[in-house]
Amino acid sequence: MKFSGSGDVGFGTATIVRTLRDNQSAASYSSAYTTLDLGDMGVLSFDTTGGGLVGTAANDDLLPSAYEEVWHGVGSTANGTTGIGAKNVLGYRGTFAGVNLSAGYSKANTGTASGDGGNTGVGSNGSTFDWNLSTTVPGVEGLTLSGGVAHTDSNQMTSDHVNDTLDTKSWTGHILYSVGATSMGYRMAESQVGTTAGAGNNAEAYSIAYNVNDSLTISYAEQDLEFDKLRVGILTATKAIDVTENVKAVNAAYTVGAATVRGTISTSDNVGGVTAVKDEHMEVSLVLAF
């Protein structure tokens, strides 16, 4: 169940949203966030949990699709982007000279709390800054470029400093083009985690969607997600064989009256960077508008 309310607070419009699942208590929301719309000055937000409102977290996969992303429910369900997430995030969205800015900041969220709410000492994680820019290309109708970067300053420490972590970095970029009833897109992404022996990811994906008529839309997408086995910790790096997970998905959506039927069929090879492991997913959704 989703509850929302909004009202004028004198210098903007505030909106509060809370979403509950049937197995949760009122103290445990699946999403809870607040926004403050300042008109031409943009939108401020505070994402308590689950909103995914700003940065690369909100723009991780913009490829055109009739229903879901190519990686939805199949394979490692990952897309190569490690964004700011959606817990205790201060965000901002605004448009300047035709460029859309979406940015977020989150302080450390584990370890021992200090007096100002930060976290220090053994087991702590540094703060994250995440931003994304997008714009339509002047003179080329239908062409949109989008890209962003997320950076976490990792100050996680161990007693002997042998397994101290490095910064976590991630970026993603899109080229999107629409003409008539056809939309297509290309996406690249990379993430490098700051944990000892952690595997980074490199992703390439593309999709094409076609509006057959006013009722039916179909799409096809593929993604290659490379699992980089290079050790990225403080100790001397050791190299294993990189493995690429490949995902393919067909999506469709059909609307008749107040009902929309949506579906996806997808397959994956080398799931999670493990050679010869396969996965399949099929999903059908019915949406009724009242």
Confidence of residue 149 (pLDDT cuts 50, 70, 90): very high
pTM of this structure: 0.82
The percent of residues above 90 in pLDDT, for the chain, comes to 58
Mean pLDDT of all residues in 216-232: 86
Confidence of residue 122 (pLDDT cuts 50, 70, 90): very low
Confidence of residue 196 (pLDDT cuts 50, 70, 90): low
Average pLDDT of the chain?
A: 84
pLDDT digits over 230-245, tens only?
554 445 555 678 899 9
pLDDT digits over 244-273, tens only?
999 999 999 999 999 999 999 999 999 998
CATH code assigned to 57-84+141-288: 2.40.160.10
At 81 the pLDDT is 86
Reduced to 3 states, what is the DSSP secondary structure of residue 157?
A: strand
Query: What does the domain layout of the chain look like in residue ranges?
Result: 57-84+141-288
Contacts of 150 (CB under 8 A, 6+ apart): 55, 56, 57, 81, 82, 83, 84, 128, 129, 130, 131, 168, 169, 170, 171
Looking at the predicted structure, is the pLDDT value of residue 124 above 60?
no
| Alpha helices, DSSP H, located in 128-211 | none
Mean pLDDT of all residues in 103-119: 55
Question: Cα separation of 224 and 222, whole Å?
Answer: 7
Looking at the predicted structure, is the pLDDT value of residue 157 above 60?
no
Reduced to 3 states, what is the DSSP secondary structure of residue 272?
A: helix
Looking at the predicted structure, is the pLDDT value of residue 20 above 60?
yes
Mean pLDDT of all residues in 25-38: 77
